[in-house]
Amino acid sequence: MIGNIGNAEKAEILMQALPYIKKYHKQTVVIKYGGNAMTDENIKKMVMGDLVLLRQIGVNVVLVHGGGPEINDALKKMNIETEFVGGLRKTGADAISVVQMVLAGKVNKDLVNLIELCGGQAVGLCGIDGRMIEADFENKELGFVGRITNVNPKPVLDMLEAGFIPVVASVGCDKKGNVYNINADTVAARLAAELKAMSLINLSDVPGLLRDKNDPSTLIKEVNVSETLKLMNEGIISGGMIPKVKCCVEAIRRGVKQVFIIDGTVEHAILVEMMNDEGVGTMFH
């Protein structure tokens, strides 16, 4: 820990970080946060503290979040059954009200509150605000699961201009007023592209892409998007990692310069990834 080292060592760490601080100054970085990486309160506070630090050194930070575990808990308490098809939650009329309440209400405002407790300024948004995320039915059999049809980044840009960290919940709407549950990876990828972000960082609970899913030492540090289909055919990208990687590829092809999948449960993983050539996860380019 930095508190246990001398002043000279602290200064050296800061000097080593200087080129990276210059690199990211006034650039936009979108952080996708969700799932099991959000369940540990101490790690969550550390992540929010890292975002505040990045904002203080001039990085335009945007946080996009899901909240699957919280939605599961709320649906269970309300005796609403949950069913997943192809990794997507079937979301009926009763369930979408709960999803909106949990994501745009409790989870979103808890993260805003935590960022402000860490010394930052944040504003909670969701895709409904300013019709930021317009959507349509992904598949009517899935209910109110959304496929993004349009992204309006102005609400986020306005908040960045005002000095806030925008915290975006992954729900959207259509022109008829229907609300949709949208995969947070998809929202983060599309929003990062519209914001012309320098980087998109996906915080997961795995180290990144592993050649052997049971061996962290087999981490693949860099992937060209042209290689992803081959990795899927080889089974290296499989299961729940497939839609996540597809969103990474989509972001790159829409103009985001670098996309990362990193283990959000590792201490200060975002800072290590951004302020170090080595990094801690998988980078797509």
Q: What is the pLDDT confidence band of residue 98, given thresholds at 50, 70 and 90?
A: very high
Name all domains of the chain by residue range, CATH numbers in brackets.
Answer: 29-284 (3.40.1160.10)
- pLDDT for the residue 84: 77
The DSSP code for 66 is -
Per the residue annotation, which of 49, 124, 127, 244 is the catalytic one? Answer: 244
Question: Which residues are 259's β-sheet partners?
Answer: 200, 284
Q: What is the pLDDT confidence band of residue 1, given thresholds at 50, 70 and 90?
A: very low
CA distances to 85, 149, 232, 254 from 216, in Å: 29, 37, 18, 30
Count H helices, E strands: the chain? 10, 14
Whole-model pTM? 0.91
Is-catalytic flag, 124?
no
For 213, half-sphere exposure in the C-beta direction (CA atoms, 13 angstrom radius) is: 10
Per the residue annotation, which of 32, 50, 127, 279 is the catalytic one? Answer: 32
Is-catalytic flag, 68?
yes
Better pLDDT: 114 or 82: 114
Per the residue annotation, which of 44, 124, 172, 185 is the catalytic one? Answer: 185
- pLDDT for the residue 4: 62
Structural tokens at position 11: 């200064």
Better pLDDT: 277 or 153: 153
Contact by Cβ (8 Å): 92, 64? no
Per the residue annotation, which of 49, 68, 146, 279 is the catalytic one? Answer: 68
Better pLDDT: 4 or 121: 121
Per the residue annotation, which of 34, 35, 143, 264 is the catalytic one? Answer: 35
CA distances to 34, 124, 129, 132, 164 from 155, in Å: 22, 11, 7, 7, 11
Is-catalytic flag, 76?
no
Contact by Cβ (8 Å): 118, 63? no
Is-catalytic flag, 196?
no
pLDDT tens-digit profile of 45-94? 999 999 999 999 999 999 999 888 888 899 989 988 877 776 677 888 88
Is-catalytic flag, 172?
no
Does the pLDDT of residue 32 top 60, yes or no?
A: yes
Residue 240 φ then ψ, to 5°: -70, -15
* 179-181: strand order across its sheet: 146-151, 133-137, 171-173, 179-181
- Of the candidate ranges 29-33, 60-64, 193-197, 213-217, the one whose mean pLDDT is the lowest: 213-217
Better pLDDT: 16 or 142: 142
CA distances to 9, 10, 43 from 3, in Å: 10, 9, 18
Q: What does the alpha-carbon distance between residue 272 and residue 105 come to, in Å, rounded to a whole number?
A: 31
Tell me what the pLDDT averaged over the chain comes to. 89
Question: Which residues are 227's β-sheet partners?
Answer: none
The bridge status of strand 60-65 relative to strand 28-33 is parallel
Alpha helices, DSSP H, located in the chain: 7-24, 41-56, 68-77, 93-100, 108-117, 154-161, 184-194, 228-233, 241-253, 269-274
